Structure 1
C-alpha cells in the first residue's frame, strides 16, 4: 500500500477580495444583531442588571476621582514633611481602596451574570431559527455557511461577552473623560509661546496634548490592525474545520481502521492544520505590528505628561502634588480617549464573531424563505390536508443547481402523480443514483427542489427509517424511542420491542449513557430502527434501504414483524433486493427517460416513474 504524501483539502484559500469583505465593519447589521435582546421578554431583567453594572462603573470612576485628589494632597504632605497628614491620608486611602475592591468585584460578577443571560437568550433564538423550518437541513444542502455548531457555541459567546466588555469600557471611558477633563484643564493651566512677534496663549494645554496624542494613536492602530478582523474570521473557520474533521475521524474510526486509512487521514488533518498555521502566521505579523503600536503608545504616555509639564514645575509654578495630580489626570483623560487603541484587539475578535453570526443569520433567513439558488424548476409545494392519504400531484424532482450554472442536469425525474393510501405496501426500486432517496425526502416535505405538490395528511404520523438511522448520544432508551423521550414508554415495552427485533442482549442497558452510533454495529442499528417503528406505530412508514446491513433471514423477519404489527399503516420501501418484493403489492419503478431536450443535446430529465401492480 502506498503512502500518500499530500492531500488536497476541498476549497481554496480565502482570496484577498473575500478577506476584505470579511473585514468590513457592517455596523447596521451588527446593531440589528444586538438590538433584539433589549426588546425581548427578558429585557426587564437584562436592563436591570445593565443599570446596576453601569452604576458600579460610575462608582468606580468616582473613586478614581477621589484617588486623583488624594494624590495631590498626599504628595504635598510628603513634600512638606507633614507626618500627621501622612497618617491620616493612609487611613483615607484604605477606605477608598476597600470601596474600590468591593465595587470592582461586584462589577465583574454582575457583568458575567448579564453576559450569560444575554447569551442564553441569543442561543435559544438562534437554535429556534436554525431548527425551525428545518433550516439546519437546507443550509447543509446548499453549503450556505460553514460550521453552524461553532457559530452557535463559540461565536455567540464571543459576541455577547465582547459586546458588554466593549460597551461598558466605552461608557467608563466617556464618564472618566467628563470627570477628569475639567481637573486636567484647571491643573495644567495655560501655556504661552512667541509666534510671529506675538504671544500665543493656550489654556488647559494638557487637554489638547491628550486629545492630539489619542487621535494620532487611534488612527495608527486602525491602519495597522484592520486586517486582523478578516484574519480572525478565517482563523475561527479553519479551527472549526479542523475540529470537525477530528470528530468525524473519531466517529468513523472503524471504517478508517479497516481501510488502513491512517496515512490519508493524517495527511488530510495535516493539510487542514496547515491552513490554521498559515493564517496564524499572518495573525502573528499583524498582531506584532499592533502590539508595537499599542505598547509604544502606552509606555510613552507614562512620561509624556511629565515631559510636557516639567518646565512649569521647575519654574516653581507647580507643586509636586500638583505635578502628580496632573500626571494622574492626564493618564485618566488620555486613557479615556484611548479606548479605541486599548480595545482594538478585543474589538477585532468581537467584530469577526459578529460578522460570522451575521452571515449565519442571513443563511438561516434564506433557508426559512426557501430561497434556494437552483435553475429551471420552481419549488415543490408542501400542503397539509385532512385527507388520510398522501397525494403527489405532477411532482417533478430536481437537484439543487446554482443559478449561475448552465448544467442541464437540474431536472432529475419527470412529473408524475401518485396516491398512497393507508395500509398500502409500495416498493420503490430503480438504478442507483436515480433519485429514490430524493423521493423519500420529498415525501418528508424537506426537499424543495422541483415542482408540483406534495399533500401530507395533517393528522397522520410519519416515520422514516433511513439506511443509517440517527442515534442521539444519551441512554439506550432515548436512542430507541427517538424522537420521543425514553420516558415516554415503559421499560417493559422497550424491552419487549428489543427482544422482538433480536436485540435481547441490550434489554439490561436501557439506562446506559453512551454514543450508540459507535457502540452498535450497522445491523444492530437497523434493527433498533425497526424497534422504533414498533414503538411509535406510524400511519406511514418509509424505509430507505433500511435493511441493507441485514442478512436475508433477518430482513424477512423484520418485514414480517412490521407488516404484522402495523396492518393499517402504509409501508413504502426503497430497496434493491428482490427478496423484499413479497411484502409489497404495489411498485414504483424508476426507468430511464425517453426524449431529449429542445437542442437534442441531453435528456431533459434523467428518469421517469411508472406504477406497477
Structure 2
C-alpha cells in the first residue's frame, strides 16, 4: 500500500505541475488577448474625443491594429504546441545522447569476439561476460557443443545466467574470450518471456511463410503441448500475449520451435517456470519433433539428466574487474562533441 501511495503521489504531483503550467500559460495568453482588444481604443480615443477623427475613423484605426496584431500573434497562438514539441524533442535528444555516450564510455572496455566454426559446432573459448555487478564465466575454459547435443547450463541465483544468454545472442558484447557459432546456421533464441507478433495464430507459429503440410501439423503440435483448444483458431487474429496466460505463452513458443525445425536452440530459463505436467509435455514434444537439434537450456538445473545428459556451470569470476557503470548526462538538446562520439554504422 505504501509503495502504491508513493507511485500514485508521483503521478499526481506530475499532473499538478502540468495543470499549474497550463494555468500560467492561460493567464499569459488570455490577458494578452484582452489587452489587445482594449488597447487600440484606449490609444485612439483621445484623438476621437478631440474631434480630429470621426467614429468611423476610430473603427478603421481599431481594425487596422487588429489586422497587424493578428499577423504578429502567431507565437502566442502556438506556444502550447511549441512547448509540446520542445518536450518531445528533449526526450528524443536525451535518448540519443544516452545511446551515444554509453558506446563512448564503454569503447575502451574489452569485447567478446565472435566467429564461425567450420565444423558446425558451438564453442566458448575462455569466455567471460562483464557487467557492473561483476563478471560471469563458465567453469570450463574451453567448451565445445556438437550438433544434436543437449546441454544444461546452470548457475546459482544472481550468477548472471540471463546475461550469459544475451552474450551468446550478441546483445551484450562486453567481456572477453571468443564465441564460435556454427557456420551457416542461425540459432533460435527462446527468452523467458516469449514475443508474439500481431497476426493470426498460424503466422505466430510459423512467421517465415514456409508453412508445413497443413492444419493437421499445426493441430498435432498444439495438442502435444496441451494447447489443442487453439487448433480451431489458426486463422484468427488476436493479441495472443493478452489472451493466453504465461504458461500457455511459453508452451506456444515451444510449439513454434517444433514447426520451424531449427538446428540450434538456446533457451533462457523458459523451462524453469513450467509446472510438472507442462514440462513433461514440452520435453516429450522436443524429443519427438527435434531429435537432431542441439538444445542449450540456461536455467536453475531442476530437470533430470535424461533429456540433458550434459551439464555446464556458470560461476562468478571474483578475480576479474567489473564493467564500469555508465554515467550518462541528460537534459541537453545539443549533442556531445563530435570528437567524443563515434557513431556506429
Q: TM-score, normalised by structure 1?
A: 0.46
Aligned equivalent of 2:160, options 422, 428, 435: 435
Displacement, 1:573?
1.9
Matched residue, 1:565: 289
Matched residue, 1:297: 32
For the residue of structure 2 that corresponds to 1:580, the secondary structure is: coil
Ranked by relative contact order (alpha carbons within 8 Å, sequence separation 6 or more), the top structure is 2
For the residue of structure 1 that corresponds to 2:305, the secondary structure is: helix
1:378 and 1:451 in contact (8 A); partners too: yes
- What is the alpha-carbon distance in structure 2 between the residues aligned to residue 569 and residue 591 of structure 1? 26
Residues 383 and 322 (structure 1), Cα distance of their counterparts in 2 relative to 1, 3 Å cut? farther
Q: Please state if 1:371 is matched with 2:103.
A: yes
Once structures 1 and 2 are overlaid, which stretch shifts more, 285-294 or 499-508? Answer: 285-294
Residues 320 and 539 (structure 1), Cα distance of their counterparts in 2 relative to 1, 3 Å cut? same
Matched residue, 1:186: none
Matched residue, 1:67: none
Q: Please state if 1:586 is matched with 2:318.
A: no
Aligned equivalent of 1:444, options 155, 166, 169: 169
For the residue of structure 2 that corresponds to 1:343, the secondary structure is: helix
Count of residue pairs brought into register by the alignment: 320
Deviations 1:383-431 (A, max 9, x none): 46666233333321122x2xxxxxxx43233793333332222221232
Question: Aligned runs of 1:470-485 on 2, under 5 Å?
Answer: 470-472=195-197, 474-481=199-206, 484=207
Residues 555 and 314 (structure 1), Cα distance of their counterparts in 2 relative to 1, 3 Å cut? closer
Matched residue, 2:149: 424
Displacement, 1:587?
2.5
- Which consecutive unaligned segments of at least 5 residues does structure 1 have? 8-267, 402-408, 598-602, 606-613
Greater fraction of residues in strand: 2
2:272 and 2:302 in contact (8 A); partners too: no
Q: Please state if 1:525 is matched with 2:249.
A: yes
Question: Aligned runs of 1:268-283 on 2, under 5 Å?
Answer: 268=4, 270-283=5-18
Deviations 1:153-191 (A, max 9, x none): xxxxxxxxxxxxxxxxxxxxxxxxxxxxxxxxxxxxxxx
Deviations 1:363-384 (A, max 9, x none): 4555xxx717569952324446
Q: Please state if 1:284 is matched with 2:19.
A: yes
1:556 and 1:580 in contact (8 A); partners too: no
- What is the alpha-carbon distance in structure 2 between the residues aligned to residue 587 and residue 382 of structure 1? 23
Greater fraction of residues in helix: 1
1:427 and 1:575 in contact (8 A); partners too: yes
Deviations 1:251-283 (A, max 9, x none): xxxxxxxxxxxxxxxxx1x43332232233334
Aligned equivalent of 2:189, options 455, 464, 469: 464
Q: Please state if 1:547 is matched with 2:278.
A: no
Aligned equivalent of 2:262, options 524, 534, 538: 538
1:425 and 1:572 in contact (8 A); partners too: yes
- What is the alpha-carbon distance in structure 2 between the residues aligned to residue 378 and residue 411 of structure 1? 12
Larger Rg: 1
For the residue of structure 1 that corresponds to 2:53, the secondary structure is: coil
Residues 296 and 551 (structure 1), Cα distance of their counterparts in 2 relative to 1, 3 Å cut? closer
Q: Please state if 1:393 is matched with 2:160.
A: no
Matched residue, 1:338: 73
Displacement, 1:540?
0.6
Residues 332 and 575 (structure 1), Cα distance of their counterparts in 2 relative to 1, 3 Å cut? same
Over 6 Å off, 4+ runs: none
- What is the alpha-carbon distance in structure 2 between the residues aligned to residue 520 and residue 277 of structure 1? 33
- What is the alpha-carbon distance in structure 2 between the residues aligned to residue 318 and residue 545 of structure 1? 88
- Which consecutive unaligned segments of at least 5 residues does structure 2 have? 323-345
